Structure 1
Amino acid sequence: MLPSGSYSLHEARPIRAYTPTTGTAWFHPHKLHPPMTRQTLLQRMHQPATALMILSGCLLSPLLPTTAHAQSTPAASASATQELAPNAMIEQVTSQVLAELRNNTRLQTGDVAVATEAVNRVVMPHVNFRRMTAAAVGPAWRNATAQQRDQLVAAFEAMLIRTYAGSLEQVGDLRVVILPMRAQPADAKDVLVRSEVRGGDSPIQLDYRLEKTPGQGLGWKIYNVNVLGAWLVDTYRTQFAQQINASGIDGLIKALQEQNFKAEQ
């Protein structure tokens, strides 16, 4: 017996309907959608900036990439920015992402394989995607097995890349301006780097939350991104909780994997 308001994986219907007045999240068991809040609607109005956000930071072991990412990412890429201040690191990585977008015609067409390679090579050395996934999954992460955690990280990353890769051809002349940082203690371990994406009708807020990675020379790691007032982790936590409450961690993994599989067809 399923709890009230939930569904089986065989039911092809949402558990809640979105209405513009309430902003209620909606969820289809075979297709994971970002919750339809006011912030999500604004994000969809600025798809190029959202795509840039995904490739330049949100694709966030406690503090290191998974083995697969470590193998696909040259060590030199990380060493080039590991000693930079957090705002300087964000500026450098964002510039690298923009250069990739403007110089790689296959990336501009939304080629998922090319986007994945670019993310692993340019972005992943500077982000903590495992922490981001754990935060999005919520308390259930603590009870997940090591294998389940690895599956969640891989499936969530693939879903995010596929969700936003298709809008990369619209980036055009967008540029990112890093805003002055507020004063921080010399030993700060967690900081907020604020920026604006410019080039459209009006500047778009794009902020990064970073942590100082323990260990000599490992530098700062991004673990969350905010677009127009909405933190990426928060937009998925409620949605994932609905799936977990209905069918557990394995149900969430299955739903993510099914969406990724269908996107490949």
Structure 2
Amino acid sequence: MASVQAQPVANAAPEAQVQSAVERVISSIQADPATRSGDIAKTIAVVQKQFLPYTDFEYTTRLAVGKAWRDATVEQRQQLFEQFQLLLVRSYALSLSQLREQNVKFRYKPAPVAATAADVVVETHVLNNGDEIQIDYRMRRTPSGWKIYDINMLGAWLIEVYRQQFADILAKDGINGLLAYLNRHNARQAARP
């Protein structure tokens, strides 16, 4: 069964965008025997196809890298974005692979959005075998609609976690050191079965 590339709706409400992104990924994973059996490469492919169109991970990268982003060359910025996006996609895919055979339900809380709002948080609740986990998605208004740029799982916003980690690496080894770290990390993760 071929799945169609996700296409966010430019004027959709933020919670509708999150719901569409999450449910497209989950339904694609549950519909494919390979992803249901834990094939992480195929799960990553699903996340890239079904989730990435709803994100602005270039903005995420800029925020996580912080002040060093301004000092990076255009080529370094592109490499930072590509490597960090790969890290985020793989992390999200690994989290989703834990839910592959389970009867998971999601609840999406409508986000109050002022007409001039540029940033909003959409709260979701994942119901899994009697447990409830809150996952929040921070979104920003872009010319093509609301885009996810940060995720809060278990009380930690991804950007804050990575900003501190990256700041330590940048202070010690600079932009090229951060690129080397991301390349090594992604290569190690890709080598895992």
TM range (shorter): 0.7 to 0.9
Cα RMSD of the aligned pairs, angstroms, is: 2.0
Q: 2:30 aligns with which of 72, 88, 102?
A: 102
C-alpha deviation, 1:139, in angstroms? 0.8
- Aligned residue number for residue 139 of structure 2: 210
Q: Tell me how many residue pairs correspond in the alignment.
A: 186
**Structure 1, residues 52-72: CA drift from partner, whole Å, max 9, x if none?**
xxxxxxxxxxxxxxxxxxxxx
C-alpha deviation, 1:110, in angstroms? 4.1
Residue 185 and residue 206 in structure 1: after superposition, are their counterparts in 2 closer, same or farther (change >3 A)?
same
Matched, 1:177 2:107: yes
C-alpha deviation, 1:131, in angstroms? 0.5
**Structure 1, residues 157-209: CA drift from partner, whole Å, max 9, x if none?**
22233345345443111221001333x32232221111111124431111111
Q: What secondary structure does 2:147 align onto?
A: strand
Identity of aligned residues (%): 36
For 1:97-246, list aligned pairs within 5 A. 97-171=25-99, 172-182=102-112, 184-214=113-143, 218-246=144-172
- With the length of structure 2 as denominator, give the TM-score of the two structures: 0.86
User: More deviation in 153-162 or 254-263?
Assistant: 153-162
List gaps (5 residues or longer) in structure 1. 1-73
Equivalent position amino acid for 2:135 in 1:
L
- How far, CA to CA, are the matches of 2:40 and 2:86 in structure 1? 9
C-alpha deviation, 1:240, in angstroms? 0.7
- Aligned residue number for residue 263 of structure 1: 189
C-alpha deviation, 1:93, in angstroms? 1.7
- With the length of structure 1 as denominator, give the TM-score of the two structures: 0.64
- How far, CA to CA, are the matches of 1:163 and 1:191 in structure 2? 23
Q: What secondary structure does 2:67 align onto?
A: helix
